[in-house]
Chain A
Amino acid sequence: MSLVLAKWRTSLGAAALLALGELVLAALAVAPGGLALAADIGRRPAATVFAAGDWLHVLVDLHVASGAAQQGITPSPMAGASAAPTPLGAIAAWTLVLGTIAAALHSLLYAFLSGAALEQMMGRGSGLWRGGTRWFPVLLRLGVILFFLVPLLGAGMGVALLFVPGNGFTALALKGAVWVVWMAGVGGFFELARVLVVLHSDRSAFVAVRRAARMCAARPLALAGLWLALGAGNWLLSALIVLLTLGTSANSPGLAWAIALFTIAGGTGFKMLRLAAATNAVLVHVDKL
């Protein structure tokens, strides 16, 4: 653990940049809604009710009002005080588009910064920029492989679990847990591949994936435990934070911003911790060979 933490500390620069990048990308994605709030929509009582945590009631009211507006019974629910209404659909569409762009940019940012962080963790002393640019092409290719493989693996396990008998609560909860563990393992596997790219200076993402597969085959239990602890735990923590804050009031903006920044910092810190653990695991495995 101390070795992992030591490696993690070397990546703090990359983690800070990743956190800043996430903040900017998230703000970009929710900007349409934010701009609407700053304008007329923010002056409607629904906005403050929503901010108070009563979001589901507001969504019901919006749904009802939109339906009535579509029938020409009432004006658009998001019509502001100015002459031009603020179309809710356009805000949602832009948020979707910008969210997708943000997710893509986030992948690119992580491909860059993870390479830089791994250089630091392996003690090569490269600067962030040099380390990032050195590994960006191959890590980007690895990301493309991920883009296709991960949904297949997730859907495949989901379908397989459907055929497992049992529909009661306990059976469904167990199936859900199995799926989460599986996906945590998939995530960990590709982190392993990422580390191996840097360790072996692979220029082929496929070669790194094959190495990762051989390594997992050699030490499946240890690695499974690692991913379970770090991957599933990360998701659980994120989900808990989101659920616990979702229905609570955001009327204390200081607290709301603190939670948002904690989410960002915690998530990026945890991500780097996983990379550090993966690096340590690889180096230990190599030592043992």
Chain B
Amino acid sequence: MLFRKFSLIALVAMAIGGFSTLTASDANAQATDTTSANINAVINNPIELLWVQDMDFGEAAPSTGATTVTIAADGTVGGDAIGKAGSPQEARFSVSGLAGQTYAIDLPTVPETLTSGAGDTMTVSGFVSDADGVATALAKEFGVGATLNIGAEQAAGSYSGSFNVTVSYN
């Protein structure tokens, strides 16, 4: 009986000791173990741009000196070029996004080049926009204007090119 009790006590002690040893090592493992965790976020109401119309300076006649055709963001045509005709129009696009969130608009800061089928060129510069910089849930339209630089005795022809507009949340 004595032997039996001793054995039982010994077994329990061994179990307890094993438990103690196991928890200690496990605690050590948790203290030093490292891993990486992904941090993810979802931005609701992304800013969205929709094309409305391209820019067109219409027609103009060359002069002995350099002249210009200007189109304001609201489509008003000006400049000292002679013989302006056709249907000039500003570029237009719409913006929608998180209501009330401000945004910045990036227009070309260097002249863009227009090229004719014969390889002659003109430049477009001075880009302007009437975007108000505040997003709305519903799409709101804005215009982009610029200045066409016609060279002295510019060669006749149809000229074309392109430019980019970027809108970003602040």
User: Are A and B associated in one complex?
Assistant: no
Measuring CB to CB, which residues of chain A are less than 8 angstroms from any residue of chain B?
Answer: none
Measuring CB to CB, which residues of chain B are less than 8 angstroms from any residue of chain A?
Answer: none
